[in-house]
Structure 1
Amino acid sequence: MACSWALPHEARAQTFQTSAPTAILMDADSHAVLFEKSADDLMAPASMAKTMTAEVVFNEITSGRLSFDSTFTISENAWRKGGGGSGGSSMFAQVNSTIRLEDLLRGLIVQSGNDAAIAIAEGVGGTEENFARLMNERARQIGLTKSTFRNSTGYGHPEQKVTVRELAKLAIHIIETYPDLYKIFGEREFTWNKIRQQNRNPLLAMDIGADGLKTGNIDESGYGLIGSAVQNGQRLVVVVNGLKTAKDRANESRKLLDWGFRAFESEQLFAAGQVVGEAQVFGGSKRSLPLVSRKPVRVLVPRGDGERVTARIIYTGPLKAPIQKGAEVARLQVNRGEMQALEMPLYASEDIQEGTLSQRALDGLLEFSTGWVRRAFTSVIERI
């Protein structure tokens, strides 16, 4: 099923322009997309891949399988490939030393240490290859369907590719799921082996409310950044990649965030618990089921523009009874113009019991004559 709202004026094309070859700007609360450019193109993530490495470790910690006090050894492999003499970013851990996971996480996130990333991969997965498999398993579990990881560091690999859209989704997932652990991304410096290093995220030094996440740069990727900032209670997440210099990376990320905070306002389509639409039901005591969202349905629209907003309720159905109240049965997709701005689950607002024998027989007759069941339904409702 699909529904559509028309706000006062027709949609206009994105007016913002960026020199970043790939970019996206998202509102963290609603997951609304404010701007995108080649957001689904596959690209090398460089050290932005370490954000996925951190997610795997955060999940292990919250699941109780690891703790900050867990210890890992810096193998010769981690030291040679990621240590100070490797030419890449490093926390300068000593070979064969044993380090607490809390310190390794800071080496990974704040210093972007490749030695820390490899030590974590070997400690959690046994080998770098096994850890990469864990990264991909977690990526699929949290909804990243296109991205593929082949190592914990972000070192170049022909099969290691991501999209800026999925990196933004990963960032929002970390912010929402691990709020306490996420704070590490905002730490400005970390000292290890008597070497003090600044966080590589340039947004943290700007007065824009930035509090994370990660930069990256290898020859295959250019300069990239995942960033997040909060102003007046609103959090935006930006991802850019493919820029030519670190200065360009910083400037384009800030420009996107400044524009997002300045140019948009929140438009509420439905309150939490308000009926959004209906789904058809097969074999039930009722033939339709009201659908609700557990959160307010809000979309960010250009300030003062009244951009046209359309939405679809998507489900494969009719839904088969019995259906329990609160079950996730559909998804709501909201578009601003041609751009998908929001996607969120919809839930059954009431119980639907199995219908009587005669009701089920009638539905079966409809199915036999029309092929009613197991279709993806689409219809339109206008809301002015």
Structure 2
Amino acid sequence: MGAMVRCLCVGVCLALLLPPAGAAPRVGAALLAAAPPAVERGPAGPPGPPSTLLMEVFTGQVLAESDAHRQIPPASLDKLMTLYLTLQSVKTHRLDLSTTVTVSVDAWRIGRTHRSSRMFLNVGDRVTIEQLLYGLMVASGNDAAETLAEAIAASPEQFVDQMNATAARLGLKDTHFVTPHGLPTPGEHTSAWDMGHLAREILAAFPDAVAYTSPRYVTYGGIRQANWNNLVFRDPRVDGLKTGFTDEAGFNIVATASRGPLRLIAVVMGAHTLQLRTASAEAQLNMGFARYELVAVPWQRLVPSSIRVYGGRAARLRLETPRAVEVLVTRDDRSPLTVSEELRVRPIAPFQRGQQVATLTIRNATAVLATSPLLATAPVDRSGILTRLWSLLRYRIGGLLRHRQTTWTATFVPQQ
């Protein structure tokens, strides 16, 4: 009888001390008893194998994909768009990296949501945009995302409108955002295809963005947190970008890695376990680096890098490409490439610096591998009236006497 009474007392005490299932946590309770690490949770995410995509950044070529348009909750992959819009605001001088903002109650509350990753911002903290970017991408701070949204737009709701408008402009047709951070919310979805293309847009527009995604640790308020992207600890080639996890989304990652000039993006969405996500991303990156390489095309040695100009103060106009001309080939492919240049305007002054004059095209036997505008390297003004008239007369007569060449073609064989 005494034993039964003791058991009953213990049961009553436990019932009084433990919260009922599904009860909201007390404010600050997450600080005392954090949720178990994601790796210890059971299988999560949508049914079926994960969606995947492998992309090369320079050319934007998709090298492999599996069910890449399936719509899946993004979880913290939302923060890639928050990063993009923040860097755009810095580029357009709406914000500066040193701009200081004050943490609101709403942002603090988002960080204290059950199972919310956070930067550990406190109400009233004065924090810079640069600090928030590290907190956003390394610590995956939902409080940092909310604070950035408030700094960029009049409200988080207006910031989400900007996110969706930008997604539409970039052609992300599988994506609809509801929050700047990715906490589970009905109606929010994206795809491996869209996240890969968003990551490429970030890396193309802001190559230094990896400075905010590559650190292994970030410290704020005396709290040191490890990067949620476990690949930065496992593979020295990996320097970003973002992971995400919720029970609904599963384990997501958009990873980028470089070896020499070749930079790849690997996306995994909807993996049931952290181990599966890691293995899938690593397998994609390893395959990409083993199979492909970027080859520089020395077009200046193959087709004209300058053209003759008529009626101008200079006799010739030098041409350049906006960036290096490289093509993606498989490592065992040494088939010849066709390099062609086509003049797009009459060679008559004036010309402005940066004006497109011609188009450069690189082809193999079956497809166009790359195209690039050829731009004027310097302005060419009109010459004096008599010199100009004589030069234009020579241009007209020359066109009547012989065919004026406007296209040039050469062959280039990549070397082993």
TM-score scaled to structure 2, two decimals? 0.64
Listed as ranges, the matches of 1:299-338 within 5 Å are 299-304=327-332
Supply the distance in 2 between the matched residues of 1:101 and 1:156 (Cα, whole angstroms).
25
Kindly state the Cα deviation for residue 303 of structure 1 after the two structures are TM-superposed: 2.9
In structure 1, the partner of 2:114 is: 86
Deviation of residue 41 (structure 1)? 3.4
Asked if residue 61 in structure 1 is aligned to residue 61 in structure 2, the reply is no
- Residue 115 (structure 1) aligned to one of 130, 135, 143: 143
1:331 and 1:344 map into 2 onto residues whose CA distance is 7
Cα distance 1:344–1:215, how it changes in 2: closer, same or farther (>3 A)?
farther
Q: What corresponds to 2:212 in structure 1?
A: 184
On the 8 A contact 1:22/1:242 being kept in 2, the answer is no
Q: Indicate which of 154, 157, 164 corresponds to 1:126.
A: 154
- Kept in 1, the 8 Å contact 2:252–2:271? The answer is yes
Distance 2:197 2:369 in 1: 12
One of 264, 267, 272 as aligned partner of 1:244: 272
- Provide the C-alpha distance between the structure 2 equivalents of 1:273 and 1:172, rounded to a whole number of angstroms: 31
In 2, the alpha carbon distance for the partners of 1:121 and 1:309 equals 48
Is 1:38 the counterpart of 2:36? The answer is: no
Partner of 1:23: 53
C-alpha separation between the residues in 2 aligned to 1:212 and 1:76? 30
Q: Is the 8 A contact 2:261 2:294 kept in 1?
A: no
The one of 100, 104, 111 equivalent to 1:75 is 104
Structure 2 gap ranges (5+) = 1-47, 304-319, 339-349, 381-408
Task: Please tell me whether the aligned partners of residues 270 and 296 of structure 1 are also in contact (alpha carbons under 8 angstroms).
Answer: no
Which digits, 9 at most, give the CA deviation of each residue in 1:322-343, with x for residues without a partner? x9886679999999999x9967
Residue 87 of structure 1 aligns to which amino acid in structure 2?
R
Q: Partners in 1 of 2:191 and 2:363 — Cα distance?
A: 20
Q: Contact (CA 8 Å) 1:273, 1:293: kept in 2 or not? A: no
What is the distance in 1 between the residues matched to 2:207 and 2:75?
24
C-alpha displacement of 1:185 = 0.8
Which whole-Å CA distance do the structure 2 matches of 1:293 and 1:347 have between them? 5
- What is the aligned partner in structure 2 of residue 359 from structure 1? none
- CA shift, 1:95, in A, is 2.1
Deviations 1:148-205 (A, max 9, x none): 3222101234443333233223223322332334311111111223221100111100
1:30-72 Cα offsets, whole Å, 9 max, x none, are: 2222212223333322111101101111111122221122222
Q: Secondary structure at the match of 2:224?
A: strand
Say if 2:296 and 2:327, in contact at 8 Å, map to a contact too.
yes
Q: Distance in 2 between matches of 1:334 and 1:239?
A: 28
Corresponding residue number in structure 2 for 1:230 = 258
Query: Compared with structure 1, are the counterparts of its residues 196 and 161 closer, same or farther at alpha carbon in structure 2 (3 Å cutoff)?
Result: same
Cα 1:156–1:332, aligned 2, differ >3 Å: closer, same or farther?
Answer: farther
Distance 1:78 1:191 in 2: 19
In structure 2, the CA distance between the partners of 1:345 and 1:216, relative to structure 1 (3 Å rule), is farther
- Is 1:152 paired with 2:180? yes
Match of 2:190 in 1: 162
For residues 138 and 79 of structure 1, what CA distance do their matches in structure 2 show?
A: 26
Greater RCO structure (CA 8 Å; 6+ sep):
1
Once the two structures are superposed, residues 88-139 of structure 1 have per-residue CA deviations (whole angstroms, 9 ceiling, x without a partner) of 1111111233322222111111100101111111222121110112223334
| Alignment CA distance shift 1:294-1:155 (3 Å) | same
Could you say which structure has the larger radius of gyration?
A: 2
SS in 1 for 2:165: helix
SS of the counterpart of 1:22?
Answer: strand
Amino acid across the alignment from 2:115: G
Aligned pairs for 1:355-370 (under 5 A) are: none
Residues 52 and 266 of structure 2 are in contact (CA less than 8 Å); yes or no, is this contact kept in structure 1? Answer: no
Query: Is the CA contact 1:266–1:300 (under 8 Å) kept in the aligned structure 2?
Result: yes
CA deviations on 1:196-219 (whole Å, 9 max, x unpaired) are: 110011110013411111001123
Alpha-carbon distance in 1 for matches of 2:363, 2:68:
16
Tell me what 1:50 maps to: 79
Distance 1:263 1:158 in 2: 40
What are structure 1's unaligned runs of at least 5 residues? 1-17, 276-291, 311-322, 352-380
CA drift of 1:221 comes to: 2.1
Distance in 2, Cα, partners of 1:294 & 1:212: 26
Question: Whole-Å Cα distance in 2 between the matches of residues 344 and 42 of structure 1?
Answer: 32
In 2, distance between residues paired with 1:52 and 1:337? 38
**Distance (Å, rounded) in 1 between the aligned partners of 2:361 and 2:267:** 22
CA contact (8 A) 2:74 2:182 kept: yes
Q: What is the 5 A alignment of 1:191-270?
A: 191-266=219-294
Distance (whole Å) between structure 2 residues aligned to residue 46 and residue 175 of structure 1: 21
Q: Distance in 1 between matches of 2:266 and 2:80?
A: 14
TM-score of the aligned structures, taking structure 1 as reference length: 0.68
- Which amino acid in 2 is paired with 1:245? T
Partner Cα separation in structure 2 for residue 274 and residue 139 of structure 1: 40
Distance 1:216 1:324, change over 3 A: farther
1:105 aligns to 2:133 (yes or no): yes
C-alpha distance after superposition, 1:243-296 (max 9, x if no partner): 111111111111111111112234567837977xxxxxxxxxxxxxxxx96556
Following TM superposition, by how much is the alpha carbon of 1:78 offset from its aligned partner in structure 2, in angstroms? Answer: 1.5
Amino acid in structure 1 at the alignment position of 2:290: R
Cα gap change, 1:38/1:334 in structure 2, threshold over 3 Å: closer, same or farther?
farther
Corresponding residue for residue 288 of structure 1? none
